[in-house]
Amino acid sequence: MDWPGGSTLAEKLDELRNYLLDYYGSLNEYLTSGNLTNVVIPEKPEALLRDEQCQALGLPLVAGGVLDQPYIWMQELGIIREIQAIFRALEEKNKAQQ
């Protein structure tokens, strides 16, 4: 990214992507393993909690203070949707194999 703070934003978005992969990977492991007590599920990231709250309450994506920097939040949401789609596909594949 070529603007000031762009590399910091890219790092934060990469951290979010990796954390979501760990989070959904742990959930997938929890759901598919026979031994449920050994699986540690990490805490939900704040971006995912915000996304779930907006969906649950039916709020528009750019309401409130998000208008200050919507491009950051929209990139977070893009990563969330990407990782959710991957794990929905894995979940459906697991269901089809059973």
Instruction: For 33-78, write each residue's pLDDT tens digit.
Output: 766 667 677 788 888 888 887 777 666 665 554 445 567 777 888 8
Query: Per-residue pLDDT for 8 more than 70?
Result: yes
- Assigned domain for 72 exists: yes
Query: Which residues, including other chains, have CB under 8 Å from residue 54's CB and lie 6 or more apart?
Result: 60, 61
- Assigned domain for 1 exists: no
How many domains would you assign to the chain?
Answer: 1
DSSP, collapsed to helix, strand or coil, labels residue 59 as: coil
Average pLDDT estimate for 3-22: 82
- Assigned domain for 40 exists: yes
- Alpha-carbon distance of 86 to 62, in angstroms, equals 25
Give the pLDDT band of residue 95 (cuts 50, 70, 90). confident
pTM of structure:
0.55
Which domain, by its residues, includes 72? 6-97
Residue with tokens 């760990």: 22
Query: Per-residue pLDDT for 1 more than 50?
Result: no
